[in-house]
Structure 1
Amino acid sequence: MRVLAVDDVKAALDELCRLLRAAPEVAEVAAAGDALTALRMIEGGQFDAVFLDISMPGMNGLELASLLSKLSKPPVIVFVTAYDGHAVSAYGIGAVDYLLKPVRAERLAATMSRVARMVAPVSPAAAPATPSESVKPDAMPVLPVEADGRIRYVRRTDVEFVEAQGDYVRLHTRSGVHLVRMPISRLLEYWESNGFARVHRGYLVAIDAVRELRSDSVGGMLAHTDVGDVPVSRRHARELRERLLHAAQRGELGGRA
């Protein structure tokens, strides 16, 4: 396999490259000291797998992985980090493994076996890829929520609408409201292709959570969900109606009982 290692700390990058070169599954190792350099390298050549640090200046590893997941043939992603607090987000983006520094050779060996199974060797005479081989990894299906010293995990499928609150978002679910540190524009990048629509500058709504559209007291529009009404701006009203119509035609409305 041809792999790319990405870390802004040179000593850590050199050690990771050394371990990767020693792996029998690896034929070539390239290195990048930041996410933007890595992105340019990936755009310029095909890599089977990318081993990513998370905490990097500028674009971090999670953001880079999210961009890579949108490629027609994304590389396999493995995160290599000193912190375990991002594991849920990492797996949500589609990473196949999450290695903690310092990386042990035996732990890396297990990861390489998993990566190798996901990298299907394709020869010129091989048959075309099956549809399952082109499926993109899901983007952040769960979010970690910290409250009272505990971390709980909120599934995207449980969220009926999202409300912006500065640099945070409030996730409205049947079990309650959960506060997460993330701009609403960033969450939209992850969830727009998974059934969420922006209906207002400060709101996202799950299309399959909308029960009906209502008029408010001043002639505006509200999207009614089981956990509350969501304001819909005139700018987004037409798009929402179209998405609701298409969802109804596909039988995707009313799926949340």
Structure 2
Amino acid sequence: MTAPKGLRVLAVDDVPPALEELCRLLREAPEVAEVAGAGDPLSALKIIQAERFDAVFLDISMPGLDGLELASLLAKLSEPPVIVFVTAYDGHAVAAYGIGAVDYLLKPVRAERLSAALAKVTRMVAAGKAVGLPKQPLPDAMSALPVESGGRTRYVRRSDVQFVEAHGDYVRLHTESGVHLVRMPISRLEEYWEGTGFVRVHRGFLVALSAVRELRSDSAGGLLAHTDLGDVPVSRRHSRELREHLLRAAQRGQLDRQN
């Protein structure tokens, strides 16, 4: 059962003004005791792994991992939080309820509509269906990235990516099947893929350690990481770090790329 004081709620939205407004509305609701905010799915996952929440209010349209995908991950927990979607579009309602969301709020959120959603959350929590600390780890949220093309969504597996190239607010994923464009800053993807065998080698590049065949010098004396799909520039500030990563990976037998 939740504490008598009220609900602990996490709000997730990648648009700062929208997140601030949602948090404000939740704090003003008498049913809510505590509110935390997350500006992206990665932060939300980290917070949920560390703390218990009765409910998560999720925006759907977010780069990289959208709200529907995040909700699917949370649903796999042994004791998942209640999910409420908050979005500017109504086209995902069927999918949202299919995942098990208790409600679906359209922006701008009205106080009376939020109150109705919180009443549903309270009933779910009181019934003991969605409380407690997670008893199992969250699945790997970013082992594949959704790529939109021609009105269709396909998924590119991280294991198929040899290197990543920054392209403004997007990244280009270089794979043997081609180059795939994903709406996500390279700094965000670096956070998602930290500890998965990808390292930053340049302001505009990440490379999979297992894809590096050798290190070469270019005509100007700079360093290049050679992969089967081309050479990746390595900045001076990252060159030593890359060599150390490659050495450690070789010692662990992790440089035999599995295709």
1:146 corresponds, among 131, 148, 169, to 148
Q: Could you tell me which residue of structure 2 aligns to residue 30 of structure 1?
A: 33
2:180 corresponds, among 148, 159, 178, to 178
C-alpha distance in 1 between matches for 2:189 and 2:239: 20
Contact 1:62 1:90 in 2 (8 A): yes
C-alpha distance in 2 between matches for 1:87 and 1:218: 46
Alignment partner of 1:80 is 2:83: no
C-alpha distance in 1 between matches for 2:128 and 2:254: 38
* Distance apart, 1:141 and its partner CA: 2.1
* Distance apart, 1:225 and its partner CA: 1.6
1:248 counterpart SS class: helix
2:44 corresponds, among 65, 70, 95, to 65
**Which deviates the most, 1-10 or 141-150?**
1-10
Q: Could you tell me which residue of structure 2 aligns to residue 231 of structure 1?
A: 233
C-alpha distance in 1 between matches for 2:139 and 2:128: 19
Contact 1:210 1:224 in 2 (8 A): yes
C-alpha distance in 1 between matches for 2:169 and 2:24: 34
**Structure 2 portions without partners, runs of 5+:** 12-20, 86-103, 106-116
C-alpha distance in 2 between matches for 1:193 and 1:77: 30
Q: Deviations over 1:150-171 (max 9, x none)?
A: 1111222221111011111111
**Structure 1 portions without partners, runs of 5+:** 19-28, 33-37, 40-58, 121-132
C-alpha distance in 1 between matches for 2:71 and 2:215: 35
Contact 1:169 1:183 in 2 (8 A): yes
Contact 1:79 1:95 in 2 (8 A): no
Question: TM-score scaled by structure 1?
Answer: 0.64
Alignment identity in percent?
Answer: 49
Closer, same or farther in 2 for the Cα pair 1:83/1:183, shift >3 Å?
closer
2:207 corresponds, among 194, 205, 223, to 205
Q: Could you tell me which residue of structure 2 aligns to residue 245 of structure 1?
A: 247
Aligned residues: 205
AA aligned opposite 1:245: L
Alignment partner of 1:5 is 2:9: yes
Q: Could you tell me which residue of structure 2 aligns to residue 90 of structure 1?
A: 70
Q: Which structure would you say has the larger RCO, counting Cα contacts within 8 Å and 6 or more residues apart?
A: 2
* Distance apart, 1:192 and its partner CA: 1.9
* Distance apart, 1:209 and its partner CA: 1.6
C-alpha distance in 1 between matches for 2:54 and 2:156: 23
2:196 corresponds, among 169, 194, 197, to 194
AA aligned opposite 1:68: I
Closer, same or farther in 2 for the Cα pair 1:256/1:119, shift >3 Å?
closer
- Alignment root-mean-square deviation, CA: 3.7
2:253 counterpart SS class: coil
* Distance apart, 1:178 and its partner CA: 0.8
Contact 1:88 1:143 in 2 (8 A): no
AA aligned opposite 1:192: E
AA aligned opposite 2:70: A
AA aligned opposite 1:80: F
Contact 2:147 2:181 in 1 (8 A): yes
Question: TM-score scaled by structure 2?
Answer: 0.63
Contact 2:10 2:53 in 1 (8 A): no
